[in-house]
Structure 1
Amino acid sequence: MRTFIISSLILLLSITNLTAQEKSNISIKQDYIVLTRKIPQLKPILITAKELQQEALQTFGEYEVVICGKTVKDLEDHTKIQPFLDQAKQLGVEIFACGFSLEKFKVNQNKLPEDLQVVKNGILYNFKKQKEGYLSIEL
């Protein structure tokens, strides 16, 4: 009986150890969100996205950028924003414009590039993403 109990314990510990090893091999994805007030900052923001992807292929998750503030007026000028949108698309990065900023600075959403998405409230959107576990920075 004693041998049976010891054998059962060893078997149970072995199974538990294997399960723990399997769980540790599961990659947890890390997501990122950046709020920016200047379109030129998109260049280092996208460089960072690329480097993070290369550094952590298995754990790199979503990477989102929200453009807020007065700079949204420049979003109607496709020559300023389109190169960044193209690069973001290649990297799998999503770029959004803050709807409140668009309203405040009277930007016509119909004049924005098609691949630029709009969120109603950039700050609230950022907070919600943080609650979901996104790492956040504001520039």
Structure 2
Amino acid sequence: MKTYIFSSIFLMLTLFSTANLQAQQMDNDKNNYVVLTKKVPQLQPIILTAEALKTEEGDAYGDFQVIICGQGIGDITNAEKMGDFIKRAEKAGVQLVACGFSLDKFKVNKTRVPKEMKIVENGILYNFQLQKKGYRSLSL
């Protein structure tokens, strides 16, 4: 099952990486990625993908951000669920981002968000802003 999920994400990233959208400011020296997810357990295959891309791309590997939005956002305050993900994300150069709009909507205490995570006001808007900068994007 893990292999299937990892392969699917990797295939999607590969397919979307060839799309050249107009009005983007591409940094051709580095490959930057953003993934929007609604479920904390999806961090497992996403981080596996980031690790594989970092190894494969070497110096061409740039920034990799994962934005967590939606009803499952409360799971990020669970240290037991997030501990390993945070360590692996840091090692792989992955920035974990929490959607402030989702935190507010689902009444999640922002002070309980792990300090290693960045909080943005609107995760969907932030995703679009990164896409404008040339990030390759995937939503799960």
TM value normalised by structure 2: 0.78
Equivalent position of 2:13 in the other structure: none
* Pair 1:129 & 2:106 matched: no
Structure number with bigger Rg: 1
Aligned-residue offset at 1:92: 1.2
Q: Deviations over 1:80-101 (max 9, x none)?
A: 1121011101111100110000
Mapping of residues 57-76 of structure 1, within 5 Å: 57-76=58-77
Letter in structure 2 aligned against 1:93 = V
In the alignment, structure 2 segments of 5+ residues that lack a partner are: 1-27
Distance between the aligned counterparts of 1:53 and 1:75, measured in 2?
24
State the AA in 2 paired with 1:135.
Answer: R
The 5 A counterparts of 1:17-32 are 28-32=29-33
Q: Structure 1 CA distance, aligned partners of 2:85 and 2:77?
A: 14
Aligned to 2:36: 35
Tell me the TM-score normalized by structure 1: 0.79
Q: Where does the alignment leave 5 or more consecutive residues of structure 1 unmatched?
A: 1-26
Matched residue of 2:134: which SS? coil
- Please state whether the residue corresponding to 1:115 is helix, strand or coil: coil
The amino acid across from 1:76 in the alignment is: T
Q: How far 1:58 moved relative to its partner? A: 2.1
Q: 2: CA distance between counterparts of 1:41 and 1:65? A: 10
Q: Secondary structure at the match of 1:106?
A: coil
Report the CA distance between 1:125 and its aligned residue.
0.2
- Determine the C-alpha separation between the residues in 2 that align with 1:131 and 1:114: 27
Q: Is the 8 A contact 1:82 1:113 kept in 2?
A: no
Residue aligning to 2:139: 138
In structure 1, distance between residues paired with 2:110 and 2:98 = 10
Deviation of 1:59 after TM superposition, in Å, equals 1.0
Q: Is the 8 A contact 1:78 1:112 kept in 2?
A: no
